[in-house]
């Protein structure tokens, strides 16, 4: 299950979380969209994999402008995904298999179709105060609303402000224009959201993931700067006290909780996740997934900088450990391209690339997360046209990149490498039509290699990528040194190799990962016992995309 009374390291260090992007996981009724009953039907597969908890992306009512992260009712279920009875069945069946459920709470913003926002649009003062509305100039019009309150940019492109002529006000939306930011300075808002947590706790939910939760506290005054304004609201002025109140009033202290932290700092994440502060049990940070951003820009490509990647891992692992914080360990989620295609070579070394990455992170200090299909080695899309994409961010940036001077071909190349849809293609269950995901027309096309990269094929192969994941999960559950040991990164002869050690009570594990297609020198392993590796035969050097771990007992 997701909760125990053990210490933080023992409690969190042996858990493995599996993320389900519900829309793409398993369709039980043939409408082309995954659903709750589809998850229930696949629970034996998940139990066999060995995971402890399922993080399920939002299945609440939503107009789906941002694939469910635009919520219009926090305490109901989108009919497309099922009913409350379906959820309760899933909860019972998961619990019977020792698997907990983690719900994904989008508390920074609501959909503009939420009843609260609709009442605000009608001029209700109570609900106007639920959002970040700012008066426009007295002479503003729909055709000429004047300048917005700040120059802040939406993370999906364009201004973060939208003018409402009927109110003569602007509202803040850090994401899509249909995702209006809530005003967490309003105690009524905080009370509403704590009530949402209590509602789902009453329905058996025992873990929560909080979307972009470090953005909830905005500054008291509206200021512009020379860039996009994110420094004003990232890890904002009251974020820690608001989280403490939410945890207390929502009745979730001691549960497994994880916060998605946008552009955050180690210092803040120590405080978010150190149990002394009663905020969250662990944090997602994304700095390591920006090492292939040219000049720090998501929509500008470069080869991954492995030296920078090693530095990021070292800082976050060693400093979070020293400060009593706790990392969520991951390469992939519903917002990221498939990592084996991104950081490896899936054309020539698919198996090695697909097993190198989990070896690197699953043996670190923290709680590993597996994104659906990652355990199969699913790759990025083979789309050839922008018309095949569904993601609002990708479609926006295809246009923006051309406005910035890129040709359509260049813009498509960038979107193809960066799109969130790269990780959202449906789960491949078998080699039948649509990979066994649906009997209907899938909402998003599958990647074409599903005929060989699918669950049925890999469950029958003891040497598959999935079988390798099972071994990693089993090691975490078996070895206290992996669950709770200290971590120390090692200098290596090659800048393409990441190596670290875990130590506890005289036991030592050394991990070496070659992030290149070339042979690299290996650190000495004399006297060590092979713990796991993605090549069959031992060698005195590291082969292309090789990952290997040794243990000294």
Annotated catalytic residues are 211, 260
Distance CA 348, CA 516 (A): 12
Annotate 519-530 with b (16+ C-beta within 10 A) or e (fewer): ebebeebeebee
Count of Cβ atoms closer than 10 Å to residue 351 Cβ: 18
- On the 0-12 / 13-18 / 19+ scale of CB atoms within 10 A, 460 is exposed
What's the alpha-carbon Rg for the chain, to the nearest Å?
Answer: 23
Say how many C-beta atoms besides its own lie within 10 A of residue 112's C-beta: 24
Torsion of CA 372, 378, 382, 385, to 10 degrees: 10
| Other beta carbons within 10 Å of 326 | 27
Q: Taking a C-beta distance cutoff of 8 angstroms, is the pair 82, 36 a contact?
A: yes
Q: Mind spelling out the 3-state secondary structure of 342-356?
A: HHCCCCCCHHHHHHH
The DSSP letter of residue 386 is G
**Following DSSP, what letter does each residue of 454-473 receive, concatenated?**
SHHHHHT-TTSHHHHHHHHH
Of the candidates 370, 280, 360, 290, the residue with the CA atom closest to the CA atom of residue 320: 280
Helix, strand, or coil (residue 289): helix
3-state secondary structure 411-424: HHHHHHHHCHHHHC
Helix (H) or strand (E) holding 268: helix 266-273
Nearest to 103 by CA among 193, 181, 28, 11: 193
**What are the structure tokens assigned to 437, written together?**
């995901």
131 strand-pairing partners: 182
Which secondary-structure segment (H or E) carries 501? strand 497-504
138 CB burial (10 A radius; 0-12, 13-18, 19+): exposed
Q: Which long-range contacts (CB under 8 A, 24 or more apart) does 433-442 make?
A: 437/24, 437/26, 437/27, 437/34, 438/27, 438/30, 438/31, 438/32, 438/33, 439/27, 439/30, 440/27, 440/30, 440/31, 440/32, 441/32, 442/27, 442/32
Pair 299, 401: CB distance under 8 Å: yes
CB 60 within 8 A of CB 184: no
């Amino acid at each position: 299950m997701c909760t125990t009374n053990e210490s933080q390291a023992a409690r969190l260090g042996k858990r493995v979380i599996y993320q389900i992007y519900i829309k793409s996981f398993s369709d039980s009724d043939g409408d082309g969209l995954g659903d709750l009953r589809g998850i229930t039907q696949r629970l034996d597969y998940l139990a066999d994999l060995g995971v402890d908890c399922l993080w399920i992306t939002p299945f609440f009512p939503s107009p789906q402008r941002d694939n469910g992260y635009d919520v219009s009712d926090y305490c109901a279920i989108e009919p497309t995904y099922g009913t409350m009875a379906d959820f309760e069945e899933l909860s019972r069946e998961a619990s019977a298999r020792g698997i907990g459920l983690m719900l994904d709470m989008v508390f920074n913003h609501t959909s503009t179709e939420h009843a609260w926002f609709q009442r605000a649009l009608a001029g209700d003062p109570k609900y106007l105060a639920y959002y970040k509305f700012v008066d426009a100039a007295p002479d503003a019009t729909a055709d000429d609303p004047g300048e917005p309150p700040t120059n802040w940019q939406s993370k999906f492109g364009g201004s973060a402000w939208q003018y409402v002529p009927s109110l003569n006000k602007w509202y803040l939306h850090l994401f899509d224009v249909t995702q209006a930011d809530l005003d967490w300075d309003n105690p009524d808002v905080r009370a509403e959201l704590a009530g949402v947590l209590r509602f789902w706790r009453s329905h058996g939910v025992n873990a929560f993931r909080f979307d972009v939760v470090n953005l909830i506290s905005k500054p008291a005054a509206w200021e512009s700067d020379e860039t996009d304004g994110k420094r004003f609201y990232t890890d904002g002025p009251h974020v820690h006290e608001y989280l403490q109140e939410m945890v207390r009033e929502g009745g979730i202290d001691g549960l497994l909780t994880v916060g998605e932290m946008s552009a955050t700092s180690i210092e803040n994440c120590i405080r978010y996740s150190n149990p002394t502060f009663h905020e969250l049990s662990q944090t997602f940070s994304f700095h390591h997934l920006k090492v292939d951003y040219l000049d720090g820009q998501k929509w500008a490509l470069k080869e991954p900088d492995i030296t920078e990647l090693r530095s990021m891992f070292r800082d976050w692992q060693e400093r979070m450990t020293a400060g009593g914080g706790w990392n969520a360990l991951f390469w992939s989620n519903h917002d990221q391209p498939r990592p084996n295609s991104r950081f490896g070579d899936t054309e020539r070394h698919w198996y090695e690339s697909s097993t190198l990455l989990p070896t690197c992170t699953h043996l670190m200090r923290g709680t590993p997360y597996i994104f659906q299909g990652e355990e199969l080695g699913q790759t990025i899309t083979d789309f050839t046209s922008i018309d095949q994409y569904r993601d609002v961010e990708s479609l926006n940036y295809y246009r923006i990149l051309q406005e910035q001077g890129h040709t359509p071909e260049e813009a498509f190349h960038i979107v193809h490498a960066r799109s969130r849809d790269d990780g959202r293609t449906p789960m491949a269950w078998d080699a039948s039509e649509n990979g066994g995901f649906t009997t209907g027309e899938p909402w998003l096309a599958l990647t074409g290699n599903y005929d060989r990269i699918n669950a049925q094929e890999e469950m029958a192969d003891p040497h598959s990528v999935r079988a390798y994941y099972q071994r990693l999960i089993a090691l975490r559950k078996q070895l206290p040194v992996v669950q709770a040991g200290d971590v120390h990164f090692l200098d290596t002869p090659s800048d393409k190799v990441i190596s670290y050690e875990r130590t506890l009570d005289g036991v030592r594990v050394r991990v070496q990962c070659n992030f290149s297609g070339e042979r690299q020198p290996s650190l000495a392993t004399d006297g060590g016992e092979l713990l796991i590796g993605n090549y069959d035969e031992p060698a005195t050097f590291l082969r292309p995309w090789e990952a290997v771990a040794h243990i000294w007992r």
